[in-house]
A and B are shown apart, each in its own frame.
Chain A
Amino acid sequence: MSDVLGNPIIPPDASDSLAVLEKQRSTAETFGIPLAVLLEITHRCPLQCPYCSNPVELDRAGKELTTEEWKKVLSELAEIGVLQVHFSGGEPTARKDLVELVKHASDVGLYTNLITSAVLLTRGRLSELADAGLCHVQISFQGTEDGLSDRVAGYKGAHYKKLEVAKWTRELDLPLTVNAVMHRQNLHQLPDIIQMAVDLDADRLEVANVQYYGWALKNRAALMPTVAQLDETTRIVEEARERLKGTLAIDYVVPDYYALRPKKCMGGWGRQFFNISPAGKVLPCHAAESITGLDFESVRSNHSIAWIWQNSDAFNRYRGTGWMKEPCKTCEFREIDFGGCRCQAFALTGDAANTDPACVLSPLHETIFKQAEREAEGETNRFLYRNFAGGTLEAETSENGENGA
């Protein structure tokens, strides 16, 4: 009976962490409603991280769903069988109605996660969120000390504030996940990040290597790690997982550029995941809007969310295997990885139906791998900061090593 809990339905892989409860077979046939849904309630954010997962074309405040619209979405999600929601962004705490939304989500029976940069939170507001039923807090960290962390975030004082909010989180008895996005310029701090997570009494640590779409793709030359760095990272994570068993769970997301097989992105397009954008678009992936030529339906349309999930063209376009071309079409792994990531295939090949070049079987794999390797060894360290103006290039300083110092 010790095994009755079974394995977590959601595998220990943050990129793939939103799964459905049905067995694989029935999922493939019915596309059951996902267990968890990501709500990007705003794209506004005081930070300017150069690897932001938001689209390059950000939704402005005026396009955001209203409080009443989000409440209606939450009720509808609970009704159709969604169990968890992640309040994310942008920075979700930039919305003044966050406490009200969390309260409503709790009232309709949803388990609520807050995915935050933490810099806008006060202890009072966090306490109000806890009272509203918030179940879990995830705070992103950019490093382990002010200099590098604040530089990556493009926000002075960010790191100090994050540490403070992490302490409040545990004082309020909320479980804490530390999310650390890793890249060439901060990978050397990984052992300290693991220790920081332990010291902060976090339950989980996500070591997430940057995934190169959108903003991150624009910043690839400044972020791409070397192969040697990655090997070392994997070694450090494996050692820490063993050492910290029962104290800190560590989820690890590898960058797929250096893999031979592509990742099963989103668990397969339209199979286990959807998110809702600030303007109310229902998306198969938070980067999906980068694929031009797809029309995404909105919660503001006449269709229900369940209908959009089951029937809309955008969700059905790359579902299953019928859309595949060679080499995916006849590949023995086609139902294992579903040809990788559609957004990455589109960004790197111009056609989302092509094999993700992360796959060694893609004709472009070799070229892209070599290019990434060259960039990783290169000297470009300046960031293009994420903002509503389409990005701002970091000034030359001694920190990014480009003023000849």
Chain B
Amino acid sequence: MAGPRHISVSETSRPVLPRHAKLKYDETRQVWVILAPERVLAPDEIAVEVLQLCNGERNVGDVADQLAAKYAAPRDAILTDVIAMLQDLADKGFLTEVREKTP
């Protein structure tokens, strides 16, 4: 069955794009897009990087760790930004999360 509505993104969530939201590089227009029902979203490059790290195994904290190391930036600020971006996506209905019990 489908995941619940109203996902609340936190440091411990393990978000992943649901099957109906597909991240894809659009060769024709040379931009990254998220394809969703009747929508095409244009994520910026940081959002793309975050989403590529969200593989259902890493949690949001792990993603922030990686980005903080890569960009030598304060982890707290990055974590806040990552959560805000993912929550925005979740509110639009284009994010799901992997739960502990889910096989």
B40 CB contacts on chain A under 8 angstroms? 8-10, 19, 21, 35-36, 83-84
A97-105, A169-177, A363-371, A393-401: which lies at the interface: A169-177
Query: What residues on A are CB-neighbors of B38 within 8 Å?
Result: 10, 14, 17, 36, 113, 136, 177, 204, 251
A135 touching B41 in the complex, CB below 8 Å, given contacts A2-B87, A21-B29, A83-B33? no
Q: Which of B1, B35, B43 contacts A111 (CB 8 A)?
A: B35
Which residues of B, 77-103, contact A by the 8 Å Cβ criterion? 81-82, 84-85, 87-89, 91-93
CB pair A246–B5 under 8 Å, yes or no, is yes
The smallest beta-carbon distance between B10 and chain A, in angstroms, is: 15
Q: How far is the CA of A204 from the CA of B5 in the complex (A)?
A: 13
6 additional contacts, CB 8 Å, given A21-B29, A203-B93, A245-B91?
A8-B40, A10-B40, A21-B31, A36-B40, A83-B35, A113-B37
The one of A2, A247, A251 in contact with B84, judged by C-beta atoms closer than 8 angstroms, is A2
In the bound complex, do residue B47 and residue A135 qualify as a contact, i.e. CB atoms below 8 Å apart? no
- B33 CB contacts on chain A under 8 angstroms: 21, 83
B17-42 at interface with A (beta carbon < 8 Å): 18-20, 22, 24, 26-29, 31, 33-35, 37-42
**A5 CA / B89 CA spacing, docked (Å):** 8
Known contacts A21-B42, A84-B40, A249-B93, A5 near B88 by CB under 8 Å: yes
Task: Tell whether, in the assembled complex, residue B29 and residue A22 are in contact, meaning their CB atoms are under 8 Å apart.
Answer: yes
Instruction: Select which of B37, B42, B85 is within 8 A of A203 by beta carbon.
Output: B37
Q: Pick the contact of A246 from B26, B37, B47, B91 — CB < 8 Å?
A: B91
Q: Confirm or deny: B46 has a beta carbon within 8 angstroms of a beta carbon on chain A.
A: yes
Among A1, A6, A9, A136, the residue within 8 A (CB) of B46 is A1
Contact of A1 among B22, B26, B29, B81 (CB under 8 A): B81
Q: Which 4 A-B pairs have the closest CB atoms?
A: A81-B28, A2-B84, A136-B37, A111-B35
Q: A3 at interface (Cβ–Cβ under 8 A)?
A: yes
Q: Mark each residue of chain A from 160 to 200: 1 if its CB lies under 8 Å from any CB of chain B, else 0.
A: 00000000001101110100000000000000000000000
Within 8 A of A (CB), among B23-82: 24, 26-29, 31, 33-35, 37-44, 46-47, 81-82
The answer for the CA separation of A204 and B35 in the assembled complex, in Å, is 15
A46 neighbours in B (Cβ, 8 Å): none
Question: A4 within 8 Å of B by Cβ?
Answer: yes
Docked complex: A1-53 residues within 8 A CB-CB of B: 1-6, 8-10, 14, 17, 19, 21-22, 32-33, 35-36
The interface residues of chain A lying within 8 Å CB-to-CB of B18 are: 175
Whether the Cβ atoms of B20 and A4 lie closer than 8 Å is: no
A391 within 8 A of partner (CB): no
